[in-house]
Structure 1
């Protein structure tokens, strides 16, 4: 990635159980295999605590630290308290570093990055998210394992072909580069 360029962000949206995480994980591995630097951002709708009671970082947080940074020989992590509510997707993207691509799971109502809706036959008892409205922007493609109406005019990708999804993301990225949007 060139210094000063923003990473290309693309999202995966879909209902719980649709396979967003599984597809994102496989696409991420494929992009890394191709030499891309990739970050991942996931939106969780339930409380998640990465810290464990009694551990040093937990004790610092419990004592009132607004931010705790942990470093090991293999990785580092920052945990920040957000008493005023969740931070924006734009702020999270800015923290992702010098990556080529950021894969974002969730955030269907926030941010202006392109999104791929993930649909699985077993989880398709609800209508597509785009039909329900309220999306920040409509999906640019659908990744699915069945033929479903309602996605006319946008590319249909195989949920079981992460290489093809990675190809699609790289095409989106090269189009954004050509238009000067990165």
Structure 2
């Protein structure tokens, strides 16, 4: 599967860019899946619901299914966090997997940057970052710099990078 990432510091615009890219790229007829890395504990289940009760009771995996979607929840239970590759191996084949986060992994990436965060550019020290998407002009960069809101140009860049 072809993977391309969106990285950046907190509040840099990663999620909004991901959302716009999924809309833009799927509108062009390609299938897209996403992987989002969370640095904190999260729960997609709700206390009191049957699936939550199964999980709390000790089930390793709980698969919840309906006529509209299915979701598989897998409890790590003392096992370390899976690698990005382990997670990608679980996905059904698509034309492109967009990954939000996993900035230390080796796949190609675009860095989302907002001046208001006050954070340094990750791209200065990371050769896997192929372009920047920023809300401010950035000079002296050896990689392309796009306006953070220019979704069409960013999608064009990604699709060109992956040979589509």
Structure 2 residue aligned with 1:85: 80
Q: Distance in 1 between matches of 2:91 and 2:111?
A: 23
Conserved? CA contact 1:41–1:105, under 8 Å = yes
Cα distance, 1:23 vs structure 2: 0.6
What's the RMSD between the two structures over aligned residues? 1.4
Residue 101 of structure 1 pairs with residue 96 of structure 2: yes
| 1:170 equivalent in alignment to 2:146 | no
Contact kept? 1:42, 1:106, Cα under 8 Å: yes
Cα deviation per residue 1:98-134 (whole Å; 9 max; x = unaligned)? Answer: 1100010000112x210101111222x1211234x5x
**2:128 is aligned with 1:138:** yes
Aligned counterpart for 1:51 among listed residues 45, 50, 75: 45
Could you tell me whether the CA contact under 8 Å between 1:96 and 1:102 is conserved in 2?
no
Q: How many residues align?
A: 163
Give the Cα–Cα distance (whole angstroms) in 1 for the partners of residues 83 and 159 of structure 2: 25
Ranges of 4+ aligned residues in structure 1 off by more than 6 Å: none
TM-score (norm 2): 0.94
Alpha-carbon shift at residue 65 of structure 1 (Å): 0.4
Q: 2 CA distance for matches of 1:158 and 1:27? A: 14
Unaligned runs of 5+ in 2: none
Mapped pair 1:129 → 2:129: no
Q: Say yes or no: does 1:27 pair with 2:21.
A: yes
